[in-house]
């Protein structure tokens, strides 16, 4: 299984045409899913047990991942990965994991991941209970303030070399060190680092 993953990773890493083609396929799958949400609920957002889910824009994130050279990172983590779209996208570049508490959203990601034969790792669970120390890049599209336990966890578990990328600027950390803001589409993406000693 590990060898298969490594071959897949190299294939996508060195073939821009195939990466773009697979991205188009991912985008179409989620376009169809979003259309069904609009037909049934009139919105592409909804309440979950943990908060409000709304997806990050795939085009914005694809451009962003190319800009930061995501393939140079080893382990990507999406906190509150929803329907898995950003994790599936990140899996075209590197080893990608997402954690989502909501069963329905998690199941959508699993279904599309399997259908497209991608290697994203989608976990059903609470990211506040997941060890963050093994990841060198963490992504979040937050729906809550960081003061509700997440920032303390990030300070405790994020390594100094880890990049935290926050999609949108509605909820931001208070104590992590702010870095560059990227503008690659519909929302800013801001990098934060942990300068605290563990």
Domains of the chain: 2-193 (3.40.50.150)
Please tell me whether residue 191 adopts helix, strand or coil conformation.
strand
Q: CB 89: neighbour CB atoms within 10 A?
A: 27
What pLDDT digit, counting tens, does each position of 85-131 carry? Answer: 999 999 999 999 999 999 999 999 999 999 999 999 999 999 999 99
Using CA atoms, how far apart are residues 120 and 113, in angstroms rounded to an integer? 7
Q: Where are the beta strands (DSSP E) in the chain?
A: 46-47, 52-53, 75-79, 95-100, 121-124, 137-140, 163-167, 177-183, 188-193
Partner residues linked to 192 by β-bridges: 164, 178
- CA–CA separation, 97 and 81 (whole Å): 9
Q: Which pLDDT value is given to residue 8?
A: 43
Q: Would you say 150 and 134 are in contact if contact means Cβ atoms under 8 Å apart?
A: no
Instruction: State the pLDDT at residue 2.
Output: 43
Nearest to 84 by CA among 95, 73, 71, 100: 100
3-state secondary structure of 196: coil
- Whole-number Å distance between alpha carbons of 91 and 80: 16
pLDDT of residue 45: 79
**Residues of the chain with confidence (pLDDT) below 70:** 1-17, 197-198
């Amino acid at each position: 299984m590990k060898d298969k993953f490594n071959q897949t990773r190299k294939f996508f890493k060195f073939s821009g045409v195939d990466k773009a083609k697979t991205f188009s396929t991912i985008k179409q799958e989620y376009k169809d899913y979003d259309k069904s949400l609009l037909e049934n609920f009139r919105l592409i957002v909804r309440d979950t047990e943990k908060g409000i889910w709304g997806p990050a824009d795939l085009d914005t994130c694809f451009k962003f991942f190319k800009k930061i050279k995501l393939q140079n990172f080893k382990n990507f983590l999406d906190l509150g990965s929803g329907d898995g779209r950003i994790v599936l996208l990140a899996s075209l570049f590197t080893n990608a994991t997402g954690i989502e508490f909501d069963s329905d959203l998690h199941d959508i990601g699993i279904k599309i991941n399997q259908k497209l034969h991608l290697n994203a790792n989608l976990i059903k669970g609470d990211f506040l209970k997941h060890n963050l120390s093994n990841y060198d890049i963490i992504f979040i599209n937050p729906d809550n303030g960081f003061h509700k336990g997440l920032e303390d966890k990030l300070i405790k578990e994020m390594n100094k070399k880890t990049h935290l990328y926050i999609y949108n600027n509605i909820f931001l950390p208070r104590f992590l060190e702010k870095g560059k803001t990227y503008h690659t589409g519909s929302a800013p993406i801001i990098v934060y680092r942990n300068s605290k000693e563990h």
